[in-house]
């Protein structure tokens, strides 16, 4: 595979899965001490990657679960954030200033803070009540964060007897790193063509629904915009027909990501509509990916991670086609802001 270290990928994703037991023990302790709600915070892409786990908990658990922007929380606060709260903050670097400020704010409110970081000796690694460390880099962080957040959600629901299959699903995850690697290998021959289509246009509408929506948002904002300087319009499939459809015409690129959860029909509605109005519809569907041995229930939950693993292959070819390295930045962590 182009510019890809298979051993490193397996090590990182296996590391994420391997944290599940320690995550479960920590949540058992915090919930046992009387925690009554759960906050997921974060900044930028790391926060976006928490969304599938947040959705799962909000829809399947009675534990009040919230997703907040770190910078807004520090300014505005929350009446229900306090000593009875568990706060989860992801940051690959462990140094994101908005997230560090959020950690300090939440600790002052008495909350128990869990951090998910790539480096232990960082502000977020050192100052949390519990820190889970799994080194990753930009090309491997999506799957790692998705898997750690899912482990948190499964732990909460297992302890509250809200998802009887939680333990079985957690056990299934052990085989996922190698399955994701095989998915990359199978997709490698298709990735250059898809990258070429993305490179050919200066603007893309990107859409998805359910647990797949965060990955659409993430890929548009954090990869195509930040790392490739390509303009995008991420829009949730539920909102596509309430404004964005008026921009669809011949020559306009629409990228549709399809997952495998109950919200798939929202994506299929767009898939049925757009070919009549644009000649540039690109559909990526995780249902076409072979993941032998995984239950359909788990496939639905991990489809954003599967999509991320495919899109990493697209991005690897995209940077070569455009002669624009994914590490190139003009402003991010380069100028004061």
pLDDT digits (tens, 9 = 90+) for 168-177: 999 999 999 9
Q: Please check whether residues 118 and 44 belong to one and the same domain.
A: yes
Region 86-107 average pLDDT: 98
Regarding whether 145 and 12 lie in a shared domain, the answer is: yes
Whether residue 196 is found in the same domain as residue 167: no
> What confidence tier does 260 reach under pLDDT thresholds 50, 70, 90?
very high
**Residue 334 counted as domain residue:** no
Average pLDDT over residues 129-139: 96
- Domain with 59 in it: 6-173
pLDDT value at residue 59:
97
To the nearest whole percent, how much of the chain has pLDDT over 70?
100
Closest CA to 86 of 116, 110, 119: 110
pLDDT for 43 equals: 96
Q: What is the pLDDT of residues 41-55, one digit of tens each?
A: 999 999 999 999 999
183, part of any domain: no
Structure confidence at residue 257 (pLDDT): 99
Region 94-101: mean pLDDT is 97
Q: Which residues pair with 39 in a beta bridge?
A: 66, 87
Tell me the mean pLDDT in the region 193-208: 98
The answer to whether the CB of 59 falls within 8 A of the CB of 152 is: no
Section 185-191 average pLDDT: 98
Q: Is residue 250 included in any domain, yes or no?
A: yes
Question: How high is the pLDDT of residue 72?
Answer: 97
Do residues 206 and 241 both lie within one domain? yes
Whose structure tokens read 């928490």?
50
pLDDT of residue 162: 97
Task: Answer whether residue 222 is part of any domain.
Answer: yes
- Mean pLDDT over each residue of the chain, to the nearest integer: 97
**Does residue 310 sit in the same domain as residue 209?**
yes
Q: Is 152 in the same domain as 218?
A: no
Contact call for residues 329 and 226 (beta carbons, < 8 A): yes
Identify the pLDDT of residue 258: 98
CB 155 within 8 Å of CB 313: no
- Looking at the DSSP bridge assignments, the partners of residue 233 are 205
SS3 string, the chain, reads CCCCCHHHHHHHHHHHHHCHHHHHHHHHHHHHCCCCEEEECCCCHHHHCCHHHHHHHHHHCCCCEEECCHHHHHHHCCCCCCCCEEEEEEECCCCCHHHHHHHHHHHHCCCEEEEEECCCCCHHHHHCCEEEECCCCCCCHHHHHHHHHHHHHHHHHHHCCCCCCHHHHHHHHHHHHHHHHHHHHHHCCCHHHHHHHHHCCCEEEEEECHHHHHHHHHHHHHHHHCCCCCEEEEEECCCCCCCHHHHCCCCCEEEEEECCCCCHHHHHHHHHHHHHCCCCEEEEEHHHCCCCCCCHHHHHHHHHHHHHHHHHHHHHHHHHHCCCCCCCCCCCCCCCC
pLDDT for position 44: 96
**What mean pLDDT is predicted for residues 241-270?**
98
pLDDT tens for 208-226 read: 999 999 999 999 999 999 9
Number of independent structural domains in the chain: 2
pLDDT at 291: 98
Residue 236 confidence class, pLDDT cut points 50, 70, 90? very high
The whole-number pLDDT of residue 209 equals 98
Indicate which CATH number applies to the domain containing 227.
3.40.50.10490
- Would you say residue 329 lies in a domain? no
């Amino acid at each position: 595979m182009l510019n890809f270290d298979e051993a490193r990928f397996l090590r990182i994703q296996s590391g994420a899965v391997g944290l599940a037991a320690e995550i479960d023990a920590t949540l058992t302790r915090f919930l046992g001490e009387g925690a009554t709600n759960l906050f997921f915070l974060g900044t930028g892409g790391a926060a976006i990657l928490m969304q599938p786990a947040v959705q799962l908990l909000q829809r399947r658990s009675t534990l009040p679960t919230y997703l907040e922007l770190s910078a807004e929380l520090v300014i505005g606060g929350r009446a229900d954030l306090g000593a009875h709260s568990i706060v989860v903050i992801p940051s690959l670097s462990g140094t994101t200033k908005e997230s560090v400020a959020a950690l300090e704010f939440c600790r002052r409110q008495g909350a128990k803070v869990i951090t998910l970081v790539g480096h232990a000796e960082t502000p977020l690694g050192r100052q949390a009540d519990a820190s889970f460390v799994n080194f990753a880099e930009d090309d491997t962080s999506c799957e790692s964060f998705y898997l750690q957040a899912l482990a948190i959600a499964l732990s909460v629901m297992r302890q509250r007897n809200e998802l009887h299959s939680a333990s079985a699903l957690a056990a299934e995850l052990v085989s996922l790193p190698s399955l994701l690697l095989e998915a990359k290998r199978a997709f490698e021959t298709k990735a250059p063509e898809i990258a070429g289509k993305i490179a050919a246009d200066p603007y893309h509408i990107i859409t998805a629904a359910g647990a797949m929506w965060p990955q659409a948002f993430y890929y548009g904002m954090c990869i195509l915009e930040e790392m490739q300087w390509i303009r995008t319009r991420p829009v949730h499939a539920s909102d596509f027909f309430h404004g964005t459809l008026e921009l669809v015409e011949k020559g306009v690129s629409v990228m549709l990501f399809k997952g495998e959860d109950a919200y798939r029909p929202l994506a299929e509605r767009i898939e049925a509509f757009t070919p009549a109005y644009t000649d540039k519809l690109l559909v990526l569907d995780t249902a076409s990916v072979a993941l032998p041995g995984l239950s359909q229930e788990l496939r639905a939950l991990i489809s954003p991670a599967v999509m991320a693993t495919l899109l990493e292959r697209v991005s690897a070819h995209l940077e070569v086609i455009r002669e624009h390295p994914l590490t190139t930045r003009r402003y991010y962590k380069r100028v004061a802001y």
